[in-house]
């Protein structure tokens, strides 16, 4: 088993789940500030006290301490997002918020100080709320202009950043139109036509951002990111196999456009059967030809598809609840299926299809952690279940690499405990570092190293040989 010599070992977070300080130093409201219950409970008119993301883990004030902790594991790459409304509070100001620029400039400086390559997600479910209200988010083509103005600001002020991701899990707009696409239309009124038109707007914006980054930062590498759902047929019945093909295309459509530069052959048939007709501007076809340099994925679990909705049990996995549970895989504390081989399968499938570098931008285990005395006048978490989860997935990545797949990095999701995306709670913990905050918002916010901290440190030190 071998990982490449310059493999990027690291971790990942998102601004809305960590930073807090939701109205400090000129930041405007984002759609996350009215999402107190994550994907499940819809949004509120104004921020409410039960929204744990308003404080997060106070990364905004503790980032130097936190980055030093992560650097202590030997991270080679640190993925974080920039909160759009911290740079442009309403999304449409002429000049950027200098306090926001200074904050992220300092984060990048800290990363570089410790030898960590910053990987920046430009839009991670953090659209300014004012844009969502004014334009109905990405349903309106007018969103492209402020997004590109924001991108130009980032590329101009942070030229030292080489790696960028345009949209986090861009395909998630099909499953969470408000959180992912800032579309405020009530779910019962929202049409697939509106959602797929928003998809088109995001992909045009992403391609223009790729072009802009390559012009302003010639050495930059810009990637797309998809929610990497591995789907198997529930049974070998041909109807189930065809259903997998249909479900896969809901993900591959995005990577096909962003990596190949045009709509795929099956798009016209797939969309026409839904009664969808995408409006193209005259320049869109040429814009889409600006393809990404790499594809990044989040991967947590796999599911099954059935042509008969009555067959199988609900998967309970990330976002896509209509898929079915695989009876041959283990299940996490939170009902997500654990399938390391599914990651290997998806990496091979994507690389066979596109032949461009891949990055595992998110992979992690949300679990119930218990803080216990460590025998040295401090506390820790004994979490062999997390070590085992990561080990099994890394071994499958190594197999994919041996099979010829170009995987250049692995940034473990939630490397420090944060507010979960799907359920907006703290009890679902991912990190190597425990943060003392509970679901009611109480706690000291003190950081404690878990046992997995030293375990992952050794993995990095040995470039995976300790596995």
Q: How far apart are CA 303 and CA 321, in angstroms?
A: 9
Q: Of 110, 202, 362, 396, which residue is the catalytic one? A: 362
C-beta neighbour count of 1 within 10 angstroms: 12
Q: How far apart are CA 407 and CA 396, in angstroms?
A: 11
C-beta neighbour count of 130 within 10 angstroms: 19
What is the distance between the terminal CA atoms of the chain, rounded to a whole angstrom?
Answer: 9
Cα–Cα distances (Å) from 192 to 185, 254, 293, in that order, read: 12, 16, 30
CA angle 311, 226, 459 (to 5 degrees): 100
Rounded to whole angstroms, the maximal C-alpha distance in the chain is 67
Establish whether 362 is a catalytic residue. Answer: yes
Q: How far apart are CA 106 and CA 41, in angstroms?
A: 35
Q: Of 19, 110, 169, 243, which residue is the catalytic one? A: 169
CB 53 within 8 A of CB 39: no
The secondary structure element, H or E, covering residue 346 is helix 340-354
Alpha carbon 466 to chain centroid, angstroms = 27
Name the CA radius of gyration of the chain, rounded: 21
* Residue 168 DSSP SS3: coil
CB 123 within 8 A of CB 166: yes
Q: How far apart are CA 423 and CA 316, in angstroms?
A: 12
Partner residues linked to 167 by β-bridges: 123
CA angle 465, 461, 383 (to 5 degrees): 80
Establish whether 169 is a catalytic residue. Answer: yes
Structure tokens given for 21: 């300080």
Residues annotated catalytic, as ranges: 169, 362
């Amino acid at each position: 088993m071998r990982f490449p010599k310059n493999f990027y070992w690291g971790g990942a977070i998102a601004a809305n789940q960590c930073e807090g300080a939701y109205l400090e130093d000129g930041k405007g409201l984002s759609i996350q500030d009215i999402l107190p219950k994550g994907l499940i409970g819809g949004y509120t008119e104004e921020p409410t006290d039960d929204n744990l993301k308003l404080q997060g883990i106070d990364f905004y004030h503790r980032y130097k301490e936190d980055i030093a902790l992560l650097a202590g594991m030997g991270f080679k790459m640190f993925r974080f997002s920039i909160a759009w409304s911290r740079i442009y509070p309403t999304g449409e100001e002429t000049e950027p918020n200098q306090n926001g620029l200074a904050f992220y400039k300092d984060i990048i400086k800290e990363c570089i100080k410790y030898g960590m390559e910053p990987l920046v997600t430009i839009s991670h479910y953090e659209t300014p709320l004012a844009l969502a209200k004014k334009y109905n988010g990405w349903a309106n083509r007018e969103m492209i202009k402020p997004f590109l103005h924001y991108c130009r600001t980032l590329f101009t002020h942070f030229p030292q950043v080489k790696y960028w991701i345009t949209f986090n899990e861009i395909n998630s707009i099909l499953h969470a139109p408000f959180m992912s696409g800032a579309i405020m239309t009530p779910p019962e009124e929202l049409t697939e036509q509106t959602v797929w038109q928003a998809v088109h707007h995001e992909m045009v914006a992403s391609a223009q951002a790729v072009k802009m980054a390559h012009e302003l930062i010639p050495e930059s590498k810009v990637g797309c990111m998809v929610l990497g759902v591995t789907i198997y047929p529930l049974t070998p019945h041909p109807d189930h196999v065809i259903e997998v093909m249909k479900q896969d295309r809901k993900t591959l459509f995005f990577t096909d456009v962003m990596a190949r530069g045009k709509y795929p052959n099956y798009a016209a048939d797939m969309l026409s059967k839904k009664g969808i007709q995408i409006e193209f501007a005259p320049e869109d076809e040429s814009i889409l030809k600006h393809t990404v340099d790499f594809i990044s994925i989040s991967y947590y679990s796999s599911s099954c598809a059935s042509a008969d909705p009555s067959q199988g049990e609900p998967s309970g996995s990330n976002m896509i609840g209509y898929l079915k549970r695989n009876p041959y895989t283990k299940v996490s504390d939170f009902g997500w299926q654990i399938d390391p081989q599914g990651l290997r399968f998806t990496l091979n499938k994507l690389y066979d299809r596109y032949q461009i570098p891949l990055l595992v931008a998110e992979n992690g285990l949300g679990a119930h952690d218990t803080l216990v005395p460590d025998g040295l006048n401090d506390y820790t978490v004994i979490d062999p279940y997390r070590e085992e989860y990561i080990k099994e997935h890394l071994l499958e990545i190594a197999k994919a690499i041996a099979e010829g797949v170009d995987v250049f990095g692995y940034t473990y999701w939630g490397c420090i405990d944060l507010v979960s995306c799907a359920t907006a709670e703290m009890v679902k913990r991912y990190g190597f570092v425990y943060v003392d905050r509970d679901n009611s918002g109480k706690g000291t916010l003190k950081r404690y190293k878990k046992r997995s901290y030293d375990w992952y440190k050794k993995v990095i030190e040995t470039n995976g040989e300790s596995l």
